[in-house]
Structure 1
Amino acid sequence: MLIKCIYNELLKIAYKPRSYIGIAGIIIINAIILFAMKVDGSFYISLVTGQFEQTLAFEGGILNGNLVAFISIQMLIIHVPLLIAFVTGDLISGESAMGTIRLLLTKPVSRSTILWSKFFASVIYTLAVILCLAFMSLTLGKILFGAGDLIVLKFDGLVVFQEQDINWRFLCGFSLAFLSLITVATLALTLSCYSENSIGPIVATMGIILVFTIIGSMDVPVFDRIRPFLFTTHMAAWRYFFDTPLQTKAILHSIFILTSHCVVLLGIAFYKFNRNDILS
């Protein structure tokens, strides 16, 4: 029964035009980045490596698909949460606005099954978005620019990763980014249980992300204790896989915090959804 409900939820997502806005946005923005790097990529590279040219000698193709993918991910990953919330925030509140949620709750399916199906459908949609991002940035980047070593600029210098040491880092990085986006999707779904219009959960989700981001970026001692527990603090944790040595402890901590947020938010969503009055 759960599989059938998930399938039905995926059909609902597929038939909504807004579901394709996120994917279209990723394709368009990434195409612009690829075009810009193809035309003026050498100028960008000179800006990055210019301060090191007196002490280091660079050989080979610095501008390659791996570098372009890394740049694309950094630019796009901050915008993807909005695209995710745009769809997942509508899964329950959108049906409440249309009145179809009442009809759905009269069927011989438990409310928990309905909510689980919506959650898993949002996870699958999030996976589709992250796979689109991976294909547009990494696969097309390598096709257009070729493969090669990856140079990552840090605040204290440059880190060079050999070509054979890169793919697993991208795989793990995308996986951790996927977990952070699932957290956003879960937040939007939870807020959707408390609203009867789709705009409210979307705006509230982005508002929470904005407030948490501001708190996390403010260098104020009063926020030092809560900053490590905000999920927004760990949304850029995928970059840990491009550090050397690998920050295993920080990665595991980010996974724990993001997973904990998902569990708590799902608990709140189930509590609210199972107690909603079908007549209200």
Structure 2
Amino acid sequence: MTRRGDRDEDGLAVVPRGGGAAALPRHPSALWSLALFRSELGITFRRWRTLALLAVLAAVPILVGIAVKIETSDGGTVGDGGGSNGEGPAFLTQVTNNGIFLVFASLAATLPVFLPMAIGVIAGDSIAGEASAGTLRYLLVAPAGRTRLLLAKYATTLAFCLVATLTVALVALGVGAVLFPLGDVTLISGTRISFAEAMVRAAAVGGVVALSLVGMAALGLFISTLTNSGIAAMAATVGLLITVQILDSIPQLHVIHPYLFSHYWLSFADLLRDPIYWDEIIKNLGLQGLYLAVFGSAAWARFTARDITA
């Protein structure tokens, strides 16, 4: 028996025959909110698009690991194109000595572009995708409510942030273990720590990377409330990401750099120092919280006042 608000295997709303508001179950608020979140979570992670995004992210550490292995097998120095005086990307030169550095190198490679683009696709499509499919108004039938639906959509996007980060980190750890030796780790500051402690730091790095995407997710959710086209919302979110990255790379605009959501993304490297440098990490997390507060509130204000009847 279908109920209003249920969705089929493609994530589309299913409306019961003759179903009105009376056909809805009267769940307690907390249980309904949890059920709504679980439904959104299941729908999002069953979509082929989501699985494809995760597959692309998983491919990055595999390609990086293979490239480093081939480079070192040929006698070249990683990161310098085989020369003697160049330096490669962060952590890349240390991968051959310890496979766990492939985790840090892969996160550093995916964080500026691949990870936020994937988040932009999921967040941008969250509300606009339902509107373009014509299912949004059915999802808002009581007792769902607009605020609960918006929170469920954002929580699902945050869950994707965590899963995407873990995908990169775990695949990189597996590839690093297969292609390179594992053991005690020498930190950026020169201190040597055990492999077990390095794993704890790697988990902390993954957590900081996932939290670094909170502001991007809130911005994408807000953009998603502005249009009825999922494609337009995704394109606008990704386009804004590219614009911010360009602005952050122009030295003459250094005044605005600390306010760009991507500026402190690579601060997670400070977790690999002894002692840990917390300044930029705290600035990064505070900035993400500010974007969440501003654009989360803007998304709520827009969505709760929006005409969904069309």
* TM-score exceeds 0.5: yes
Asked if 2 retains the 8 angstrom alpha-carbon contact of 1:147 and 1:163, the reply is no
TM-aligned CA distance change 1:70 to 1:151, over 3 Å: farther
Q: Does 1:277 align with 2:307?
A: yes
Task: Give the superposition deviation at 1:234.
Answer: 1.7
- 2:39 maps to 1:8: yes
Q: Figure out how many residues of one structure are paired with residues of the other and give that number.
A: 266
Distance (whole Å) between structure 2 residues aligned to residue 28 and residue 46 of structure 1: 19
**Matching residue within 284, 291, 296 for 1:254:** 284
From 108, 114, 128, the equivalent of 2:143 is 108
In the other structure, the counterpart of 2:77 is 44
What is aligned with 1:67?
Answer: 101
Unaligned runs of 5+ in 1: 53-59, 153-157
TM-score (norm 1): 0.85
Q: 1:77 maps to what in 2? A: 111
Amino acid at match of 1:145: F
1:159 CA drift (Å): 4.6
Unaligned runs of 5+ in 2: 1-31, 87-93
RMSD: 2.5
Aligned partners of 2:282 and 2:226: how far apart in 1? 32
In 1, Cα distance between equivalents of 2:146 and 2:178 = 47
Q: State the shift of 1:30 in Å.
A: 2.1
Please state if 1:162 is matched with 2:192: yes
**What letter is aligned with 1:25?**
V
User: Aligned with 1:166: secondary structure?
Assistant: helix
Equivalent in the alignment of 1:23: 54
Given the superposition, is the C-alpha separation of residues 98 and 203 from structure 1 closer, same or farther in structure 2, using an over 3 Å criterion?
A: same
Paired AA for residue 232 in structure 1? S
Q: Distance in 2 between matches of 1:131 and 1:62?
A: 22
Taking the aligned partners of 2:154 and 2:281, their CA distance within structure 1 comes to 25
| Other-structure match for 1:241 | 271
**Could you tell me how far apart the structure 2 residues matched to 1:91 and 1:61 are?**
37
Q: Contact 2:95–2:101 (CA<8 Å) still a contact in 1?
A: no
The structure whose Rg is larger is 2
1:191 aligns with 2:223: yes
| Contact kept? 2:40, 2:153, Cα under 8 Å | yes
Shift of 1:161: 4.7
Q: Does residue 121 of structure 1 match 2:153? A: no
Query: Is the contact made by 1:18 and 1:87 (CA closer than 8 Å) also made in structure 2?
Result: no
- C-alpha change, 1:119 and 1:65, in structure 2 (3 Å) is same
Q: Is residue 2:99 matched to residue 1:88?
A: no
Q: Does residue 210 of structure 1 match 2:242?
A: yes
Partner of 1:177: 209
Q: What is the deviation of 1:182?
A: 2.4
1:190-237: CA deviations, max 9, x gaps?
1101111111221211222222222222111xx333221111102222
Aligned to 2:260: 230
Percent sequence identity is 23
User: 2:62–2:175: 8 Å Cα contact kept in structure 1?
Assistant: no
Q: In structure 2, what is the Cα distance between the partners aligned to 1:204 and 1:266?
A: 17
Tell me if the contact between 1:84 and 1:184 (Cα under 8 Å) persists in the aligned partners: yes
How far the C-alpha of 1:50 sits from its partner, in A, is 4.8
Deviation of the 1:3 alpha carbon: 0.6
TM-score in terms of structure 2 length: 0.78
- Mapped contact 1:62–1:150 kept (Cα < 8 A): no
Give the corresponding residue for 2:21: none
The question of whether the paired residues in 2 share the 8 Å contact of 1:62 and 1:151 is answered with: no
